[in-house]
A and B are shown apart, each in its own frame.
Chain A
Amino acid sequence: MNRSAAFASLIALAAASAVQAEDADSAAFRDAFLSGEADWAAVEARAQEEGTVNLYYWGGSDLLNVWMDRVVAPALSEKGVALNPVRITGTKDAVDLVLAEKNAGKGVGEGSVDMIWLNGENFATLKRQDALLGSFAPLLPNAANLEWNPDDERSLLNLRDFGVETGGAEVPWSGEQYVCAYNADRVAAEDVPATFADLRAYLEANPGKFTYVKPPHYLGNTFVQQAIYAHNPDGTGAEPFQQSVDQIEAGELARLIAPGLDYLRELEPLLLDAAGGTPRYPEDNAALDGLFLNGEVDFNCKFGLYAVATGLSTGTYPEAAQQFVFPEGTMIKNKNYLAIPANAPNPAAALVLADWMTSVEAQASKLQMTGMPSGIDSWMLDAAGAQAIADASPGLVGVTQDALDANAAPDTNATLVDVIEATWLEYIERDSTDPIEAIVARAYKNLSK
């Protein structure tokens, strides 16, 4: 009955995908800017013509949503650009949209996403699929607020995102560090763990009082990576995990991650609700915050340099929450970024937004209102700028910046994150009886497809 209709809709699909569109004007602008021919005034003029910029970002934080509407939108409208903040439930939704549109033949100037807040796997995916506008970041006027010199090791997080070279296709927006908090009403200071062994000892005495966000959520992935670093059989910590899948053999990776994953598997029976059969992993940071507030867990581990100060000001953290150094030496520190897709409909407006976002003004107000750490590098700023950022900080609770810096560790290479994530799902969540080597080998094969 509906065969002919199906055929008709297929023809419609084929016809739509046959049109390989590219807006010539946008392409010319992109080429001129990336080659350094277009000066910034020309970019601003074009941005006003474009009129709008569609920023796709994870909309799960009330504070960030308010900041976007209250601060970013007015600042941009002064520049003649209307901000269209699109709140998404997962960053991957925006990446999928960009790729789907690209695959549907929508080229430069034809898509619907101008900018995405992302890092790690999402950036790596866009880069691999050649779906990024190009090396724009070092060309922004405010690029002076960032360290680009590869000889200075502090430039690492501006040049590499989860070990993947940014190539200037994204600009740093926020810096973060994985910091845990404990509830001092429930945990005595001397019982606060500093290492993974301490954590297990604590849980043996207090079963069920800890959990971590479920991978593949990035907060869960990061916890797993820290456990793997800390249990690296060679004792080299994060170092071997900076390589991509092309540089490290499956067998070698399996050998390196096995002790960490075994630790996590042994930890499972001590996690939240494990006594009732299956351990419970919260789906996101809000769920973890809820467990922490209600005293269902005693610790709250996530990216949250200023999470305690912010949580106290919004009522989402218990009053006695304190930060602490855990795990010693492997507290992952990274940055997150703003990227412009290759098919951005308003490339100039996106550049203007990216530039504004890396200004001292933007970073200080973001830090003050949302507790999201600054993404620009304080040593590159003048004294007034550095002071403005310092003044805006909501402050650490119970730890010092020096202690956090001393225990910092880099992220895992984005291509390995995919493998480790898949291995966690198989080995821990699904209780696979296969050895880790086999699981890792399978993940390698799936990813190379």
Chain B
Amino acid sequence: MSASSPAVPDPADAALRGPSARERRARVWQMVQLAPIMAVLVLLFGGALVLAVLQSLGFAPWFGVNTFPDFGYFGALWGSSTFWVSLGLTLYYATVSTAIALVFGVLLALALVKIFPGKTFYKYLYKLPLMIPYTVGIALAVLMLSNGGMLSRLAAFAGLIDDPAQFPQILKTHYGWGIIAVYVWKQTPFITLAVYAVLLGIGRETEEAAAILGANRRTIFFRVTLPQILPGVVSSTLICFAFNVGAFEAPFILGGGFPDTLPVVAWRYFNDADYTLQLQGMATVVSIGLVAGVILFGYLAAYRRFERRMGRN
């Protein structure tokens, strides 16, 4: 709508005043168009980030704390071994579930480009988890995977166990299979969508050409198909991984308790009776951002280098 703003100069009018005036106007117009998005992201997102960093460095006059800049909160956090265990768990859940979802998603996308009966149904079906909140996935995991859940009951029905305690514990352990199951359930469709859309877009000509030249299936996949879907794979896994690192609800409900993942640790700090721990919580939250940033940046840089080596840019 803002494109219709009355401040816009008539192009003919601008042309009369010579190129420099026109350029300047174009520049202003450009800024006007970018201003709303800048305002939202810089003020809210940037503001929140800066505030989080300031607080983690001891700036919280509203709690009567102002020791800025104070690296003690980070020191205390990074100095404790449980932080590193929590970090390890956070990264473990995020990595394993992203990897599994990637494999599932690519396999599904490759199957979906085929022609088969019921394909329309599948095109609806696979997107279902994408459309519904994580909390639904968590509810389903509780129902299926807990020791009193459906799988355990089926095992009892089959005579394999006669007490819920004998069913292998899936939820509430540090192996985190419950958390991983929820992430995979929810994110496989996301990756499938990203890959499938690219597959549809590129058509099959190059694959056919490769086949005519005698390449086998494996070679076609790794030499022809994969490079084409790679950008979609990289960006969708980036988003999934980042989400998994920062997600709170699944590890909170399905996690194994202490030591928790970092977002849950931060939440517990914020809920502690001791209000000064909120700054410790901020340091935790900033650490999550830092770790996620470093890893994702590294991943992106590695991908760019790979692209360059492949001769693209």
A–B contact via C-beta, under 8 angstroms: yes
Q: Which residues of A contact B (CB under 8 A)?
A: 1-2, 5-6, 8-10, 13, 17, 90, 92, 99-100, 103-104, 121, 125, 208, 214, 216, 272-273, 275-278, 280-281, 283, 290-291, 293-296, 418, 421, 425, 429-430, 446-447, 449
Contact present for A280 and B63 (CB under 8 Å): no
Choice from B47, B62, B258 contacting A9 with Cβ under 8 Å: B47
A415 to chain B, nearest CB (A): 10
Chain A residues lying within 8 Å of B22, measured Cβ to Cβ, are none
Q: A5 with B276: in contact, given A104-B62, A291-B148, A296-B165 (CB under 8 Å)?
A: no
Cα–Cα distance between A363 and B147 once the two chains are bound (Å): 39
State the CA gap A223–B173 with chains docked (Å). Answer: 24
| B47 and A5 contact, CB distance less than 8 A | yes
Q: Which residue of A lies closest to B259 (CB)?
A: A430
A125 and B273 form a contact (CB under 8 A): yes
Q: Is the CB of B172 within 8 A of A280?
A: yes
**A292: shortest Cβ distance to chain B, in Å?**
10
Q: Are A8 and B273 in contact (CB under 8 A)?
A: no
List the B side residues contacting A294 at CB < 8 Å. Answer: 147-148, 164
Q: Report chain A residues within 8 Å CB of B174.
A: 278
Residues of chain B with a CB closer than 8 A to A208's CB: 165
A449 to B277, CA, bound (A): 11
Q: Decide: A92 and B271 in contact? CB cutoff 8 A.
A: yes
CB-CB nearest 10 A-B residue pairs? A294-B148, A9-B47, A6-B50, A2-B46, A5-B42, A103-B62, A296-B164, A2-B42, A429-B258, A208-B165
B-side contacts of A429, CB under 8 Å: 257-258
Instruction: Give 18 A-B pairs besides A2-B50, A6-B50, A291-B148 with Cβ atoms closer than 8 angstroms.
Output: A2-B42, A2-B47, A5-B47, A9-B43, A9-B47, A273-B147, A273-B165, A278-B173, A278-B256, A281-B257, A283-B253, A294-B147, A296-B147, A296-B165, A430-B258, A446-B274, A449-B274, A449-B276
Residues of A within 8 A of B274 (CB): 418, 446-447, 449
**Is B51's CB within 8 Å of the partner chain A?**
yes
Name the A residues within 8 Å of B273 (CB-CB).
Answer: 92, 121, 125, 216, 418, 421
Expressed in whole angstroms, the Cα–Cα distance for A273 and B42 within the complex equals 48
With a cutoff of 8 Å between Cβ atoms, the chain B residues found around residue A278 in the complex are 173-174, 256-257
Q: How far is the CA of A447 from the CA of B273 in the complex (A)?
A: 9
In the complex, what residue of chain B is closest to A414 when comparing beta carbons?
Answer: B273
List B contacts of A100 (CB < 8 A). Answer: 62
Q: Which residue from chain A places its CB closest to the CB of B50 in the assembled complex?
A: A6
B82 interface hit (Cβ, 8 Å): yes
In this assembly, does B95 line the interface, its C-beta being within 8 Å of a C-beta of chain A?
A: no
- Complex-state Cα separation, A425 to B258, whole angstroms: 9
- Chain B neighbourhood of A10, CB < 8 A: 50-51, 54
Q: Shortest CB–CB separation between residue B35 and chain A, in angstroms? A: 12
Q: In the complex, A9→B48 CA distance in Å?
A: 9
In the assembled complex, the CB of A59 is this many whole angstroms from the nearest CB of chain B, namely 16
Q: Which of B163-183 contact A (CB under 8 A)?
A: 163-165, 169, 172-174
Closest to A425 in B: B258
Contact of B82 with A430 in the complex, beta carbons under 8 Å: yes
Question: Chain B 31-73 against A: per-residue CB contact (8 Å), 1 yes, 0 no?
Answer: 0000000000011001100110010000000110000000000
Using CB atoms, name the residue of chain A closest to B61: A17
Residue of A nearest to B53 (CB): A6
A291-B148, A449-B274 known; A276 and B46 CB under 8 Å? no
Enumerate chain A residues within 8 angstroms of B169, measured Cβ to Cβ. Answer: 273, 276, 280
Give the Cβ gap from A227 to chain B, nearest Cβ, in Å: 20
Q: Are B47 and A272 in contact (CB under 8 A)?
A: no
State whether A103 and B63 are in contact (beta carbons under 8 Å apart), knowing that A273-B169, A280-B172, A294-B164 are contacts in the complex. yes
